[in-house]
């Protein structure tokens, strides 16, 4: 897949222990003078990672198209962070000295990866470390800003480094490579949570969802699979959803896609696609499985002229552009100016309700009653308190218009923005979904919002 560059000024290091090169970590001195300051340390309930580190990314029109992470750090808070000698992983404390290197926060690699169930392997020849769990394979290379995850190579703004026989990587390694949630409180303690919702190879239980131009294809999750380097998608179904007529040329063996003046030919085993009179190199040869033609999703743009994105819940969003430019009618916009959001909850599209999504200055606001129902909650409005109550089994959540605190069982959770009621519907910030409902979410470049709380 395409390499991804992620801006960063804060990093979490996860050090590797074991064998001679991975001795127990030692406490490191911290140069807090090197760290800029503008963070106020307030209540212990604040998730400092989200509040001060996560930020939205906007396109040239001012629309929210994703998130990045960047923040200046308060000296007192940095000191608190550097004093930590453990992290909490899935509710259990794990020993590991937290350190600060310039503007980067560091903690031991092995502590986190093994705490999340990975097995580690060190390659002394190329100075790389590999973490494996089931079909998931994660890599980091010493002194290089290259982190492998599934079929991606991510650049996180900080090279993996060796310090006192420990290997360290950036904070985004935990969130963007391991796909785990990170919480940091005012005491500087780091909590990591992962509930194994990361997409897996379809033959091992992948929960993929295909959405083309805002419409779910409803293909079986087994119809998408991964190879060593690519995600392979059923291109006949995708082509038809894009308006192409698809036929197999029995003489040449090629699958031909035609729409008006555009003509494309793909052939099993061939790494070149015919697009008009040109040959386009594919990332991997087209393949036929169970009578269906597959091609690498990473070649869709080169062959069909579409944009695509894959979010952390496994939703693959595909959106078509025209003449090499994104179709303005398909580009995510503010909903009051023509937004084309698509809401997908646990693999199921919510349909017309997606049109209700809108953006404020800092957040994407989603219709939480419908999302709650799709997650299996019973939703009622308490006329006495004015709160909207969500109930599922022993779990109880209350949200109230204008109140930035949500009640989750017996705890209060700070929201990124107060809920609002529009046209009789309750909306809350998408960025608070995990804190309140324990659900993962992702927004891809085509406007698909994927939400999942499946184990």
Q: Which CATH class is domain 4-193?
A: alpha beta
Residue 367 per-residue DSSP state: E
Distance CA 154, CA 148 (A): 6
Specify the pairing of strand 4-5 against strand 152-155: parallel
Q: Say yes or no to pLDDT of 243 above 80.
A: yes
Q: Tell me which residue of 131, 117, 132, 135 sits closest to 167, measured CA to CA.
A: 131
* Contact of 298 with 280, CB cutoff 8 Å: no
Q: Say yes or no to pLDDT of 124 above 80.
A: yes
Can you give the pLDDT at residue 256?
Answer: 94
Q: Say yes or no to pLDDT of 248 above 90.
A: yes
Name the token pair of 360. 């404020």
How confident is the prediction for the chain on average, in pLDDT? 75
Distance CA 416, CA 130 (A): 35
Distance CA 128, CA 276 (A): 43
Mind listing the pLDDT tens digit for each residue in 361-373? 778 889 999 999 9
- Comma-separated ranges of CATH 3.30.457.10 domains in the chain: 4-193, 202-325, 332-452
Specify the pairing of strand 215-216 against strand 209-212: antiparallel
Distance CA 140, CA 160 (A): 7
For the ranges 1-10, 289-298, 364-373, 429-438, which has the lowest average pLDDT? 1-10
361: left (phi over 0), alpha (psi -120 to 50) or beta: alpha
Burial category of 345 from C-beta neighbours within 10 Å (exposed 0-12, middle 13-18, buried 19 and up)? buried
Q: Which residue has the tokens 């819940």?
A: 313
What is residue 5's three-state secondary structure? strand
332-452 maps to CATH 3.40.190.10: no
Mind listing the pLDDT tens digit for each residue in 45-69? 345 665 545 555 555 655 545 555 5
DSSP string, 329-372: TTS---GGGT---EEEETTEE-GGGGGG-EE-SS-EEEEHHHHH
Mind listing the pLDDT tens digit for each residue in 162-207? 887 888 887 778 877 887 888 887 788 888 887 554 444 444 445 6
Can you give the pLDDT at residue 207?
Answer: 65
How distant, in Å, are the alpha carbons of 21, 98, 286 from that of 166? 7, 12, 42
**Which segments of 16-158 does DSSP mark as H helices, in order?**
48, 75-82, 109-115
* Contact of 321 with 427, CB cutoff 8 Å: no
Name the token pair of 420. 């609002």
Can you give the pLDDT at residue 63?
Answer: 53
What is residue 51's three-state secondary structure? helix
Mind listing the pLDDT tens digit for each residue in 267-280? 999 999 998 878 88
202-325 maps to CATH 3.30.457.10: yes
Q: What is the mean pLDDT of residues 12-38?
A: 31
How distant, in Å, are the alpha carbons of 60, 150, 267, 287, 407 from that of 179? 28, 11, 35, 29, 26
């Amino acid at each position: 897949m395409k390499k991804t560059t992620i801006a960063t000024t804060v990093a979490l290091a996860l050090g590797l222990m074991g064998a001679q090169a991975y001795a127990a970590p030692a406490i490191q001195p911290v140069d807090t003078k090197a760290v800029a300051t503008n963070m106020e340390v307030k209540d212990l309930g604040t998730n400092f990672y989200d509040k001060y580190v996560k930020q939205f990314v906007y396109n040239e029109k001012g629309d929210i198209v994703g998130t990045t992470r960047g923040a200046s750090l308060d000296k007192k808070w940095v000191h608190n962070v550097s004093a930590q000698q453990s992290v909490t992983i899935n509710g259990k404390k794990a020993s590991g000295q937290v350190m600060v290197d310039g503007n980067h926060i560091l903690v031991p690699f092995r502590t986190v990866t093994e705490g999340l169930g990975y097995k580690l392997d060190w390659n002394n020849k190329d100075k790389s470390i590999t973490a494996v769990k089931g079909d998931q394979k994660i890599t980091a290379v010493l002194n290089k800003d290259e982190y492998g995850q599934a079929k991606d190579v991510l650049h996180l703004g900080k090279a993996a480094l060796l310090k006192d026989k420990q290997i360290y990587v950036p904070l985004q390694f935990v969130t963007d490579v391991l796909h785990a949630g990170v919480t940091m409180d005012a005491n500087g303690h780091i909590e990591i949570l992962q509930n194994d919702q990361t997409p897996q190879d379809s033959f091992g239980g992948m929960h993929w969802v295909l959405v083309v131009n805002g419409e779910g294809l409803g293909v079986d999750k087994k119809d998408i699979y991964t190879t060593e380097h690519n995600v392979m998608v059923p291109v006949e179904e995708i082509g038809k959803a894009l308006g192409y007529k698809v036929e197999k040329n029995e003489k040449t063996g090629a699958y031909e896609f035609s729409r008006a003046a555009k003509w494309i030919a793909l052939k099993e085993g061939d790494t070149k696609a015919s697009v008009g009179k040109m040959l386009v190199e594919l990332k991997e040869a087209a393949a036929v499985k169970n009578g269906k033609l597959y091609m690498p999703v990473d070649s869709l743009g080169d062959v069909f002229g579409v944009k695509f994105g894959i979010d952390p819940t496994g939703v693959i969003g595909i959106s078509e552009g025209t003449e090499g430019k994104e179709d303005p009618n398909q580009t995510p916009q503010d909903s009051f100016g023509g937004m084309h959001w698509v809401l997908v909850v646990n693999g199921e599209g919510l349909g017309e309700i997606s049109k209700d999504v809108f953006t404020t200055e800092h957040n994407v606001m989603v219709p939480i009653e419908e999302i709650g129902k799709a997650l299996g909650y019973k939703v009622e409005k308490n006329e006495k308190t004015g709160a909207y109550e969500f109930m599922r089994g022993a779990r109880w959540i209350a949200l109230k218009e204008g109140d930035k605190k949500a009640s989750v069982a017996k705890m209060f959770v700070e929201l990124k923005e107060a809920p609002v009621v529009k046209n009789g519907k309750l909306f809350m910030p998408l960025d608070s979904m995990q804190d309140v409902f324990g659900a993962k979410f992702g927004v891809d470049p085509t406007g698909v919002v994927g939400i999942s709380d499946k184990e």
